[in-house]
A and B are shown apart, each in its own frame.
Chain A
């Protein structure tokens, strides 16, 4: 069965810490992997990854994909309280007509 697994499911850190969020997947005909941040309501887009080994970076956030080992990581350096959110991983597969979201990682950053 196609699936996406995220770990940890919940994480509490202090401001200034660096965190690594994990997303592993088992799907057929992988097309892309996306990371979203969900604060109060609507998820907002962070990164889209399609190729292995190419790091995507935006400020303190970065992400990379390993298509051989079937996982992606999302790194956040120098965390701030505003980074507190649920981080969602989603994988598109089967020529883009199927996708699945992981359960999310709830990150809490304490002052």
Chain B
């Protein structure tokens, strides 16, 4: 059974940093690209960042470019998101999502909540 479990969310002040983690199991992690998708309270889905299976291709949404860094450790079956210079508008539930071989995201975690507030 595929499982994606996010952790690392919490309350943080504007301008500070936070690191999210996603522990994957139930599939061959290093065969698949992985992504972070966020959802602000009461709002829609927003793609944040994605990383290829070997970290050779990485992309970011314009809203986080230069502040967030995605990475992965295939030996630990883990995905990460380093978030720096956090802003109030980064407040959201952050989902880890597995990319399907056919494109799209076929498995999602339950999310970890990040709240940026003073």
The answer on A and B forming one complex is no
A interface residues, Cβ below 8 angstroms from B: none
B interface residues, Cβ below 8 angstroms from A: none
